[in-house]
Structure 1
């Protein structure tokens, strides 16, 4: 009787197991033949904890003296590494090889407090990406994506996205970087598709990228908040392929305008966060995929009055470029900080120099985080992290962490990359 039962069970369950194996194979992404390993168990795709994301710029390690070790990793869930360039043939290339993969950091600038050894044997990864990998090992909730494009390097997206062969090259190199550098995904910062044809190509690009990375790795996009730009996008089609939409909800006002205004107001004015969020949701992007961008810098206006809508004459020299200040130097000495609770916008004004600077302070960040929770959004994002204040009472990242009551997206990152070209990434350091 026992033998008959065994035969019967085998006859019933063997086809079922075979079918399940076939289905699992068909759904796979990052296959070995695509130079990417299955790695560790897939991260949880959605959690109730909010996202706190921030862009880390590779040029920050120079004059800004901001390194990976300076990240508030316990308060961040996602780091977006800016930027990689895109060549005309679809190849993604890193923006600064020295900063990205080559620099040997001294012990005081490393996550493990060990200086990078110049005499270490093998082909090893160094630079910012080694430190980010070590940081991921220490904080298993921290996900790191490589951001491709940006304002300066978006020129080739149109050509690449419209050509199947070039898209294939794009996805091939993207997938290789994920594996080689120990990443959790790819972020596309195309600024901006100019017409419907480019918007259609954008859908094809994210579709192919999703196919190459599979469902376990992140595909995100940085998207505009101006109607003339976001109305061009084919959002429902993009939403089916993209995990996160990072709304660039800043630069609503600046030197290009005839009068001064708030650069990142939640409500009011010609441009505001709420209008953009509502459009994306109504256009088919699930709220839980939307991340609200917050500036960590201010836009300045010279020779003006302390009133939105006033004329101005020129812009101040700024921290690194004319008209723009790092948030951490604001308000400037002699200026008084103000907060507009109705529009959810903060700014400073100096009655002697007649300088007006528009930016987000901790009160504005708190209100935007509450808005994100009430709207069911995924969370918030900061551009860019080197400009944040170092003290907790002024830090914007800390303000978001506090507003979210110390909760941050805890879905697991990846740390196993058995097919990386780098010995130390393959071995887990």
Structure 2
């Protein structure tokens, strides 16, 4: 994670535009089509995001585990002219070949937290909309992807809401029913109100609820990155997020619970304190701190999350480990959810082996055995 901020800042510099001829269909002029109700599998699935910028350090043969059911190849995005941007280091053929050898479907993930900047303007312009959406569909078909994941962070008004509806309808109309379409959702109503679930659920297979980043540099106090339950200093938690989206109309089996393979550090000596610096840290890096005598491990029984404290240097880490993730998976089964989605699968790799992903697969397997 040391270089993550630098890599993210270079996203747009690293990109190149994918341009291709396409048949022009203006979304605002499309006739009404028959609604295709999508059905997600009854199987509890494990989804893993695989960002292209980690591929050189953690190549597909290391990162892609057969414990994953769906691999989300992240990210591509539109530029200001509506062209599909494919980053130069986006070696999708290697990813798809490695995944297919393990019978894993690969989904192309569009957008991203730092590369969603032009989505609103592009989707709001009929010509740019059609250019981008058509290039995206063509790229998916030509490269043997099994679907598209939309990670637009985030729609911010009613115009965005309508344009996202048109975008998803266009994708389903041009991909057909055999392709997977998923959408990544925020954990609360602040941005969640701009997702038209009543419309989208007719076209979308899976909704990934990003149940992490509940606290960070933007917060008032040092909170919890991904609390399952309420605590002393978190107004939101995973249970509230799931209940919110179920109330909004998402079917439980269409919902995937977000699992972070990273945590958040704060320059505070315990939770619920004021701070002025915060940053993200991979599970791999956090795990190494357990060997450091300056760090103490604690378990928060209220939020069901672990944390580390370094009193000497005044550092507090909120993160997830096998115990907290097992609690979340048990909760996902209890709520009859469709599965979990991991951001992201390289962050637990040590010596070319996953340290958390195998635990997730083991927990899922054990719960299934108990249910039978």
The TM-score by the shorter chain falls in which range? Answer: 0.7 to 0.9
Q: Can you give the 5+ residue segments of structure 1 that lack an aligned partner in the other structure?
A: 1-32, 35-43, 101-127, 316-322, 409-429
Counterparts of 2:100 and 2:346, CA distance in 1 = 22
Report deviation, 1:72: 4.2
Distance 1:407 1:77, change over 3 A: farther
- Following superposition, the deviation at residue 342 of structure 1 comes to 2.7
Matches within 5 A, 1:154-303: 154-268=116-230, 269-302=234-267
> Does the CA-based 8 Å contact 2:40-2:254 persist in structure 1?
no
TM-aligned CA deviation for residue 389 of structure 1: 3.6
Spell out the pairing of 1:377-416 with structure 2 (5 A cutoff): 377-390=337-350, 395-405=355-365
User: Hey, what's the Cα distance between the residues in 1 that align with 2:286 and 2:174?
Assistant: 43
Please name the residue that 1:92 is paired with.
84
Asked if 2 retains the 8 angstrom alpha-carbon contact of 1:361 and 1:394, the reply is no
Matched, 1:326 2:318: no
Distance 1:135 1:218, change over 3 A: same
- Aligned-partner Cα distance in 1 for 2:353–2:133: 42
Is the CA contact (8 Å cut-off) linking 1:254 and 1:299 kept in structure 2? yes
The answer for the alignment partner of 1:376 in structure 2 is 336
Matches within 5 A, 1:2-41: none
| 1-structure distance, mates of 2:74, 2:354 | 24
Local SS of the residue matching 2:183:
strand
Deviation at 1:361, TM superposition (A): 0.7
Distance 2:218 2:40 in 1: 39
Match of 1:131 in 2: 94
- Indicate if the aligned counterparts of 1:92 and 1:148 stay in contact, CA closer than 8 A: no
In structure 2, relative to structure 1, the CA distance for the partners of 1:229 and 1:348 (3 Å cut) is: same
Paired residue secondary structure (1:347) = strand
The 2-side partners of 1:163 and 1:289 are apart by 30
Structure 1 or 2, whichever has the larger Rg, is 1
- Matched with 1:305 is 269
Q: Residue deviations 1:144-175, cap 9 Å, x none?
A: 11111112221221122233333322331122
Q: How many residues align structurally? A: 326
The 2-side partners of 1:391 and 1:362 are apart by 18
Give me the whole-angstrom Cα distance separating, in 2, the residues matched to 1:212 and 1:91: 18
| Offset from partner CA, 1:205-255 (integer Å, 9 cap, x none) | 111111111110111111111321112221111111111111111111112
Change (3 A) 1:406 1:67: farther
Q: Deviations over 1:89-141 (max 9, x none)?
A: 43322122xx22xxxxxxxxxxxxxxxxxxxxxxxxxxx3222232233222x
2-side partners of 1:407 and 1:92: how far apart? 41
Q: CA RMSD in A?
A: 2.3
Q: Tell me which residue corresponds to 2:48.
A: 54
Judging by fraction of residues, say which structure has more strand. 2
- Determine helix, strand or coil for the equivalent of 1:330: helix
Aligned to 1:83: 75
TM-score by length of 2: 0.82
Whether 1:352 aligns to 2:312 is yes
Query: Secondary structure of the residue that 1:346 maps to in structure 2?
Result: strand
CA offsets, 1:331-383, max 9 Å, x none?
Answer: 41231222223312221112222210111111111111111111111111111
Distance (Å, rounded) in 1 between the aligned partners of 2:183 and 2:75: 13
Distance 1:406 1:175 in 2: 39
Residues of 1 paired with 2:215 and 2:263: CA distance? 10
> Whole-Å Cα distance in 2 between the matches of residues 54 and 406 of structure 1?
20
Which SS does the other structure have where 2:181 is aligned? strand
Task: Give per-residue Cα distances to partners, 1:276-302, cap 9 Å, x unaligned.
Answer: 111111111111111111111111011
CA deviation after TM superposition for structure 1 residue 80, in Å = 0.9
Query: What runs of 5+ residues in structure 2 fail to find an aligned partner?
Result: 1-21, 24-37
